[in-house]
Amino acid sequence: MKKLINDPAEVVPEMLQGFVLTNPGVTLLDDGVVVRADHADVRRRGQVALVSGGGAGHEPAHAGYVGTGMLTAAVAGDVFTSPSVDAVLTAIRAVGGSGGVLLIVKNYTGDRLNFGLAAEIARTEGLEVELVVVADDAALAADGDNAGRRGLAGTVLVHKVAGAAAEAGLPLAAVKQEALRAAESIATMGVALTACTVPAAGRPGLELAADEIEWGLGIHGEPGVERGTIRPADEVIDTLLARLVADLGIGAGERVVLLVNNLGGTPAMELGIIARRAVSYLAEHRITLERAWVGSFLTALDMAGCSLSLARVDDDLLTRLDAPTQTIAWPAAHIGRVVHEVPAPRRQREVVATSTVPVDENSVLWQTVEAVCARLVEAEQELTDLDQLVGDGDLGISLARGARAVLNDRTQYDGTDDVSVLRGIAGTVRRVVGGTSGPLYAALILRTAAALNAGEPWPVAFQAGVDAIAELGGAKVGDRTMLDALVPAATALRTGSLADAVAAARVGTDASADIVAARGRSSYLGDRVLGVVDPGARAVVLQLEVIQTHLDGVVAAH
């Protein structure tokens, strides 16, 4: 691998530093957050703030769209890795004011979870936050739900429409509605000639022969829906546009805009050839092309290939797309120079106790927590081995890391009551547990604590926590996720005993072995997951079993 980098672990911070040093109008905060240099003025005006982001490697997205008429802030994670909940919170807190904040998120599990949980936390701090998920991937439309239609380059058009609406002074609800309308009008599909190389990996994520292309792949180098042989550019573009036109149901006489996007390694010469055929195709089908943009808008590192985005438009959407914009990456942009950095506003660390009351380590709650943590540490290898069969193999490691951190942080928790302790645990889990598990478990604990605080009994509170996971993750029973254990357990607990809940969770987990995954990384493995229970559901069973055993012992002792 030949790359002009220093340390693979430092590519993202060094890239962001270079971006803000050479581009006026933006500044860099902690946690990989790039903001408009005048974001304080935006907040004072009561204007809706727009925040987007995702893993690095998609440049110029998303920092390149920070500026007047588009984003107020962009959050960058590591390469192809969702930014942390805390990083998203840094952005929300920095730009959020009386106008509220709209989060624009691409439909990937990690992005949805981390942005969604950050929104939940920000709302508890009194900020008005809404979220729009963009899922413009037309490649998966005919191939089942999988993890949902992914968010691709069409997301940039949503940035543009929402940014113009916010700049026009519309309230948060109206800006969200315009963003949703734009998102629902867009379809995108891509084709790759080569895979991309993640700097830390040092080799391509997939192998393509010299005469092969990959249809409908994602922006993280994951395999597409079909592999074929290379064909002339006109035939490739015709295939992509036929899929997009069918996906949107566009007929003769309808009005569209076109985004021709370089996936990272495509020469400008080839982009011109692609654009030429795309315009001709639409004319031949008597589809009115109102606007077209060609360039690098949302890339996948050095991947050779392109994506095409088609959006059905009317006069209102065109007005938003034509509105003045001052960003680095949107065509014909111009912004002024600002050189100073603005520190991100900070809240008190959530884990640090705000009370002098320590956790009662002899309480039923804490002793139960200790028992669960011990079981997760003990089961680390079992869950890791299971996850390696159907996922990325990090579940056992992540949960054990979180368990150790919870035990280590116990002296910092506010021990005033069970609700306070649970909130402290949620903060630890959110910070320490990686992947999708951390945000999901944190959401469950936070929502459970909120219900307890409202006077609900434990079974009702637990149900509320399970509902939070379903809302944030977008999954349901039968999608082969932790919900296959949690939902039946919560239902059984509300009408029966803890033993009934454990039994129901076991049944749901066993049933997951006969399901083709519809959510998470397993969804890309198809029927290869059959015969293996979902690791997340198995982890739920282990925890519920230990809770039952511990509480049965408490009852017997009394």
Tokens 């011990």 map to which residue? 374
Structure tokens at 239: 């295939």
Residue 8: count of CB within 10 angstroms of its CB: 15
The 3-state secondary structure of 420-489, one letter per residue: HHHHHHHHHHHHHCCCCHHHHHHHHHHHHHHHHHCCCCHHHHHHHHHHHHHHHHCCCCCCCCCHHHHHHH
Cα separation, 137 vs 524, whole angstroms: 15
Peptide bond into 60 cis (omega under 30): yes
Q: Considering only CA atoms, give the Rg of the chain.
A: 24
Cα separation, 492 vs 487, whole angstroms: 9
296 contact partners, CB below 8 Å, separation of at least 6: 59, 60, 261, 262, 264, 329
Cα separation, 164 vs 17, whole angstroms: 27
Structure tokens at 352: 């640090």
The DSSP-derived string for 330-383 is STT----------PPP-PPPSSS-SSSPPP-TTSHHHHHHHHHHHHHHHTHHHH
Q: What sign results for the dihedral spanned by CA atoms 459, 402, 504, 500?
A: negative
Look up 220 and say whether it is catalytic. Answer: yes
Q: Which residues lie across from 44 on neighbouring strands?
A: none
Helix or strand (DSSP H, E) at 53: strand 49-56
371-406 as b/e: b if 16+ CB within 10 A: bbbebbbebbeebbebbeebbebbbbbbbbbbbbbb
Peptide bond into 62 cis (omega under 30): yes
- Of these residues, 220, 334, 340, 558, which one is catalytic? 220
Residue numbers annotated as active site: 220
